[in-house]
Amino acid sequence: MRSPFRAHRALSGAALLSLVLLAACGSSNNTTGGGGSSSSSSSGVTKDSSIASEVPSAIASKGTLTVAADATYAPNEFIDTDGKTVIGMDADLAKALGEVMGLSVDMTNATFDSIIPGLASGKYDLGMSSFTDTKEREKTVDFVTYFSAGTSFFVKASGGPTINTLDDLCGRHVSVEKGTTQADDATAQDGKCKSAGKPGVDVQVYPDQNATNLALSSGRAEVSMADSPVAAYQVKQSNGQFKVSGQSYGTAPYGIAIPKGNGMAKPILDALKVLMSDGAYTGILQKWGIADGAISNPQINGATS
- What's the pLDDT tens digit per position in 150-198? 999 999 999 999 999 999 999 999 999 999 989 999 999 999 999 999 9
Residue 122 — left, alpha, or beta (φ > 0 → left; ψ -120 to 50 → alpha)? left
37-90 pLDDT per residue, tens: 433 334 579 999 999 999 999 999 999 999 999 999 999 999 999 999 999 999
pLDDT confidence of residue 44: 75
Distance CA 227, CA 150 (A): 6
CA angle 65, 69, 72 (to 5 degrees): 155
Q: What is the pLDDT of residues 220-264, one digit of tens each?
A: 999 999 999 999 988 998 999 999 999 999 999 999 999 999 999
Q: What are the boundaries of each domain within the chain?
A: 13-149+252-293, 150-250
- In sequence order, the 6+-apart residues with CB closer than 8 A to the CB of 256 are 97, 126, 127, 128, 131, 143, 144, 146, 268, 272
Which residue type sits at 96? A
- 294 burial class (0-12, 13-18, 19+ CB within 10 angstroms)? middle
Q: Domain 150-250 belongs to what architecture? A: 3-Layer(aba) Sandwich (3.40)
Is residue 2 within 8 Å of residue 131, measured between CB atoms?
Answer: yes
Fold of domain 13-149+252-293: D-Maltodextrin-Binding Protein; domain 2 (3.40.190)
pTM of the model: 0.79
- Work out the mean pLDDT of the chain and round it to a whole number: 88
**Residue 76 in 3-state DSSP?**
coil
Q: Cα–Cα distance between 109 and 36 in angstroms, integer? A: 9
**Residue 23: pLDDT band by 50, 70, 90 thresholds?**
very low
What would the mean pLDDT of 211-221 be, rounded to a whole number? 96
What lies within 8 Å, CB to CB, of 197 at 6+ separation is: none
Does 13-149+252-293 match 150-250 in CATH topology? Answer: yes
Residue 1: band (very low, low, confident or very high) from pLDDT cuts 50, 70, 90: low
